[in-house]
Amino acid sequence: MSAPVRHYVGGGFDTSGDPFPLVDPVTGRTVGEVPSAPVEVVDRAVRAAREALRGPWGTWSPADRARALHRIADGIERRFEEFVVAECADTGKPRELAAGVDIPRAIANFRAYADLLAGRSEQSWHTATPDGRGALNYTVRKPLGVVAVISPWNLPLLLLTWKVAPALAMGNTVVAKPSELTPGTACLLAEVTAEAELPAGVFNLVHGPGADAAGQWLTEHPGVDAIAFTGESGTGTTIMRAAAARLAPVSFELGGKNAGLVFADADLDRAVAGTLRSAFTHSGQVCLCTERLYVERSVFDAFAERLADGTRALGGYGPMISAAHRDKVLGHLAKAAADGEVLAGGGVPSFGDERDGGFHVEPTVLRGLPEDHPTVREEIFGPVVHLAPFDTEAEALALANAGPYGLAATVWTDDLARAHRVAPALEVGIAWVNTWNLRDLRTPFGGVKASGIGREGGDHSLDFFSEPMNVCVKL
């Protein structure tokens, strides 16, 4: 790792707390240690954030804050290689993914919200009154206060900055807790915020697990005014209970069991190539990845054969994040092999080098499982996609919309009318037609059902991280 793992509280670094091992998922070796923040450090971070709200940060104008976000983006750019190295070391993802997506997107997050903030306006109304003189009503956006940001291990910097940037833009202070498995880029971000001359306490960072540790103490802290979380749906339920005790607002991006639909009129070559990306990017460890694929029966066999061939030809994929997660994925594959058919993959690759000690799983294509099978119903979050045929458009929609999740979906068709008919009928927060993971940072992002609460992106994030106040002036 390029940076030591330290807490950052009130403008200073420390390593308080009992350490736990940091493991390289590529080799399975222990490569460092992470301090687990004691409750006293979490409390100190929240108090530092509260003090910063009352201090200089509270006097900064939107233009001042926008300039600060640009300085943070500049700082990440200057240390780009350090961030790439840390991201790859923590997650095991291929360098081209970290350097081509994760770190550039983190920079873009700060720049996008700085620019949105600079161009943002509030509403005003002239209101008639009985005396004919009227009144002026206008809105003022005020920060929520101290925001807890809890981010996951799969896209550590991207998803952390996706929340930190708009929270800071609207004048909040932040206490961040990254996944205990991937602390590296968060530590570098703390250094960059210090270099960007943010007042002490505006950005704070604590490390540790969730239950009975930093995550729980942060979400239950009475000094935390709002919580932004990305992670597993069950954890979201636990956090929501903690927030409910003090009616703190929450923004949740949770799990998914995303479906794809391939119609017979689709360009199969493009659909296969797109599915290889949507199923296996970052070894399936992206909340948007496709785990269920429904293919029109007339092209099912041809598509399955092409997808299996493409899957076997994949190279350069990374490991699962941990031994426990690898074992979870392999457990699903064992059940699937017993009850269905494995078209490609299904096991653990052999490299003949130090990677054999890591947590790799082969990209896998399955078919033949019933819709109520655990591998089809439960989120796996690994390089696994199950194929099933459909006969009608109505059946395809019913299959895609079944289940508790509703984050994202893909539709592959060359019929424009069908695309516009099917995509809005999907019970998801985002539907892609003839593409996958094509993002505009101004658009709403989030899920329905067990996949989340609220929307992130553009003005949606700025609205969440602020409270509108109405001012009425009698003229």
CATH number at residue 297: 3.40.309.10
**Is residue 39 located within the same domain as residue 71?**
yes
Whether 2 maps to a domain, the answer reads no
Residues 50 and 11 in one domain: yes
Co-location of 398 and 265 in the same domain: yes
According to DSSP H, which parts of 92-139 are helical? 95-97, 103-118
Are 269 and 415 in a shared domain?
yes
Residues 244 and 272 reside in one and the same domain? no
Q: Residue 169 is part of a domain; what is its CATH number?
A: 3.40.605.10
**Do 241 and 180 belong to one domain?**
yes
Residues 458 and 430 in one domain: no
Could you tell me if residue 43 is inside a domain?
yes
Same domain, 356 and 279: yes
**Same domain? 203 vs 309:** no
Tell me, yes or no, whether 154 lies in a domain.
yes
36 and 146 inside one domain: yes
Domain annotation covers residue 1:
no
Residues 107 and 227 in one domain: yes
Number of C-beta neighbours around residue 198 at 10 A: 24
Task: Please provide the DSSP assignment of 424-467 as one string.
Answer: GGSSSSEEEES-SS---TTS-B--EETTEES-BSHHHHHHHTEE
State how far the Cα of 183 lies from the Cα of 241, in Å rounded to an integer: 26
In this structure, is residue 243 part of a structural domain? Answer: yes
Catalytic residues: 253, 287
Number of compact structural domains in the chain = 2
C-alpha closest to that of 312 among 343, 281, 350: 343
Residue 101: domain span: 7-254+451-474
Same domain, 331 and 456: no
Q: Is residue 356 part of a domain?
A: yes
pLDDT tens, the chain, 475 aa long: 446 899 999 999 999 999 999 999 999 999 999 999 999 999 999 999 999 999 999 999 999 999 999 999 999 999 999 999 999 999 999 999 999 999 999 999 999 999 999 888 899 999 999 999 999 999 999 999 999 999 999 999 999 999 999 999 999 999 999 999 999 999 999 999 999 999 999 999 999 999 999 999 999 999 999 999 999 999 999 999 999 999 999 999 999 999 999 999 999 999 999 999 999 999 999 999 999 999 999 999 999 999 999 999 998 889 999 999 999 999 999 999 999 999 999 999 999 999 999 999 999 999 999 999 999 999 999 999 999 999 999 999 999 999 999 999 999 999 999 999 999 999 999 999 999 999 999 999 999 999 999 999 999 999 999 999 999 999 9
